Amino acid sequence: MTKETLTLMTWLIPAGPLLVFFLIMVFTNRNRTLSWALAWAGVIASLVLSWTVVANMVGLDVHELAHQPVQFASAHDWLPFGACPPIEGSNCTNWLDMGVAVDALTTIMLFMVPLAVLMIFVYSVGYHNYGSPRGMIKGVPNHGQEDPLFSRFFALMSLFAGAMLVLVVADNLLLLFIGWEIMGFCSYALIGFWYARDYHLEPGDIPHITPRQAARKAFMTTRIADVVMLLGIVLFYRSFGTLNFSEAFTLHGFEHAIAGIGLGGIAVMTLLLFTGAVGKSAQWPLHTWLPDAMEGPTPVSATIHAAAMVSAGIYLLLRIFPLIAVGFEGHEAVGWIIAGIGAFTALMAATIAVTQYDVKGVLAYSTISQLGFMVAAIGTGGYVAAAFHLITHAFFKALLFLASGSVIHGMEHGAMHVHDHHTDPQDMRYMGGLRHKMPVTFWTFLIGGMALSGLPFITAGFWSKDEIFAHAFAEFEHGHPLGLVVLVMLALAAFLTAFYTTRQLALTFAGKPRTPLAEHAHESNKFMTVPLMVLAFFAIVAGWVGIPDHFLGQDLGEINVFHHFVITTIKEPMIELYKEGLTPVNVKEEITWSWIPLATSLVVALGGIGAGVLVYGRNPLKKEQPDPLIRPLGPLHTFLNHKWYWDELYHVIFYRPTAWFAETFVYAWADQGLIDGTLHLTARTIYAVGRYCKQFEEVVISGGVDKIKDAFFWLSRESRLLQSGKIQEYVLYSGLLAVALVIMMLFVSVYGGLERLAGLF
């Protein structure tokens, strides 16, 4: 195919799911069959287009890719923002461009995202009981019945998938941010999909918040990080003069940026953008929203934790890795902060997962932990290692979440059979013995669990984790103590990961059923089990493309095709930056083979699995038997079971002061006292003026007019008596008047004569 055709196909990759969203919402929302068929068609179209682009990219020579990382790109004028410098006879305008670009990093995401989303879409049809009697209660799970909001679910999931694909193919930070924010809305809408659901918890039950509370929590937490990230985007444009990755991440681009804001400014910009990834990828301290996001349907959990949302944060860090690398040179604290937050998050979340009983809650903290591995890898310069683990983790974590949903589905069927609507079907303490009840779910869950644990040499998780360990150890060998700190923390996290995964498998599938729900559980339908088998395949083979070239100290040639392919995205610009002394990260040098990272991988994986078998697998938990860890851990178990009390701590530190400030200052003083007081004073003043104006109108205007009117009425009544219409009366009145006038005249004349006479005497 020509580059023009492949570029057009790149533009069309997100179009299918985005178009399906509008079609379902406007036209087909009442037709459930057509809605899910359209959703499938949209994501299949994206898959075909994506894999066509992928096939053309992987067929290229890696040396050619290194010299020209972006093979398919196109941009169009989008937003005018000012005139060009004045040139005689010129009338041009600066434009902010929007475009797409495909390089090696984009390629691996285009392989993973549509495939994982398609499997989730197929699974969702069975998960929502398509073909069963239609449920009538909206906003709550309709167990055993088809969800009444079936079409809305697929519309929102299509928008979610389309937004992630927009983010992946974007050639600039702004378009990436648009997809980023659309996903934020979708996560809010889908986490709160069962918006009417409430819980009536008993002592000892797994704590839950309602889906609507979880949706608000996720939305607000990630928005805090996104505001900081937006500041970083503004500073990025101010410094580089562009938002395009390829244009900015060049030697000339960095020289221009450093001349403007200096290396310290680059470090600040890096941390601002990193904050956005901390929120989106649920890293400490903004990690608390992700476990509560499990209140959404299981396909939503799989999408958030594997195919989209949290993967977007790591993808952002990979996309801006040259900026991060230069930030290392500007200030060593940048590397410490990124790697430290990642390693601490990985270990902290792993300790919490050890004591959780919610089958999805364990996986939620596992996701936080595994994302910490990726962030720590980026902080130690492990660009390819982070990208590798991002892809492998997406496959086996999507598998685990869908398999956990299958378990919950089977337990819910058991609850319906025995009419028990009080026992939590997600609580692993009430499971057991499901290996025989749900064989397909068990074997696929086992494959995903072993991939998460890093079962050596077989599963994908082993190869990607080993790569991260190797990068951390290489940093230590190069004289950076941070590398050893990160390696130790990640090794402990990996040991706990293998342990809690084995614990989860044993509590769920081993032994005998501990409740009637587990006794009457059964395997899920084909819509749900077929995607599990597909994802299980990739949970194994996806790691084989990243076997090190010098594995076991032997020169095996360039068998690490993943590394040689993905590194082309940044190889040339990073070499230039290293030669100019702008970054300490040298991608030209390959990691020297060492037995220590491999031994670490083997010990923590096999040790964790062995410890899990020893504690939980050898003697499976029996009915009403307490967790074997409660007694030896004591108060520490309570501390870990309550998730380090992060939510309670944030409630005390942030919520209560904010609520007090809002109630005492904003509401009582500012709103009621100042604003309402001013408004009420103004109202009373205007009311008083109005009252006096009314009295003036009543007394002076209306009263005076009424008196004049009354006088005219009286005069008219009195004068009307003189107008009787009788001639005789008029003659009589005229005569009397004439007589009166004559008498008056005579009186005046006589009175005047008498005065003159008196004057003579």
Confidence of residue 91 (pLDDT cuts 50, 70, 90): low
Q: How wide is the angle at C-alpha 328 spanned by C-alphas 322 and 332, nearest 5°?
A: 170
Confidence of residue 711 (pLDDT cuts 50, 70, 90): confident
Share of the chain above pLDDT 90, in %: 66
Confidence of residue 84 (pLDDT cuts 50, 70, 90): low
Q: pLDDT per residue over 541-564, tens digit each?
A: 999 999 998 888 888 888 899 999
* Distance in angstroms (rounded) separating the CA atoms of residues 613 and 620: 9
What is the enclosing helix (H) or strand (E) of 635? helix 635-641
What is the enclosing helix (H) or strand (E) of 36? helix 32-58
Q: Could you tell me the end-to-end alpha-carbon distance of the chain, in angstroms, rounded to an integer?
A: 149
Question: Is the confidence at residue 654, as pLDDT, over 90?
Answer: no
| Residue 378: predicted pLDDT | 94
Q: pLDDT per residue over 36-49, tens digit each?
A: 999 999 999 999 99
Contact present, 56 and 6 (Cβ < 8 Å): yes
Contact present, 321 and 381 (Cβ < 8 Å): no
What is the DSSP code string of 341-380?
Answer: HHHHHHHHHHHHHTT--BHHHHHHHHHHHHHHHHHHHHHT
Q: pLDDT per residue over 8-62, tens digit each?
A: 999 999 999 999 999 999 999 999 999 999 999 999 999 999 999 999 999 898 8
Helix (H/G/I), strand (E/B), else coil: 287: coil
Q: How many CA atoms lie within 13 A of 341 on its CB side?
A: 22
Structure tokens at 22: 């509008």
Residue 499: count other Cβ atoms within 10 Å of its Cβ. Answer: 26
Contact present, 594 and 604 (Cβ < 8 Å): no
Region for residue 499 given its phi and psi (left: phi exceeds 0; alpha: psi -120 to 50; beta: otherwise): alpha
Which residues make Cβ contacts (< 8 Å) with residue 424, sequence separation at least 6?
205, 206, 430
- What is the arithmetic mean of pLDDT over 736-746? 88
* Distance in angstroms (rounded) separating the CA atoms of residues 353 and 428: 13
> Which range is least confidently modeled, 234-243, 485-494, 676-685, 713-722?
713-722
Give 99's strand partners: 75
Query: Which residue, among 307, 45, 33, 277, has the nearest Cα to 157 in the 3D structure?
Result: 307
Question: Is the confidence at residue 685, as pLDDT, over 80?
Answer: yes
Confidence of residue 423 (pLDDT cuts 50, 70, 90): confident
Angle between helix axes 481-509 and 595-612 (nearest 10 degrees) is 30
In whole numbers, what is the pLDDT of the chain averaged over residues? Answer: 90
| Residue 82: predicted pLDDT | 61
Distances (CA, A) of 234 to 242, 272, 447: 10, 10, 44
Sign of the CA dihedral running 9, 277, 282, 657:
negative
| Residue 551: predicted pLDDT | 87
> Which range is least confidently modeled, 105-119, 155-169, 170-184, 548-562?
548-562
Contact present, 600 and 456 (Cβ < 8 Å): no
Q: pLDDT per residue over 571-621, tens digit each?
A: 999 999 999 888 888 887 777 888 999 999 999 999 999 999 999 999 899
Comparison of pLDDT for 732 and 730, the residue scoring more:
732
State which amino acid sits at residue 94: N
Q: Where do we find the tokens 């890093």?
A: 454
Question: Is the confidence at residue 446, as pLDDT, over 70?
Answer: yes
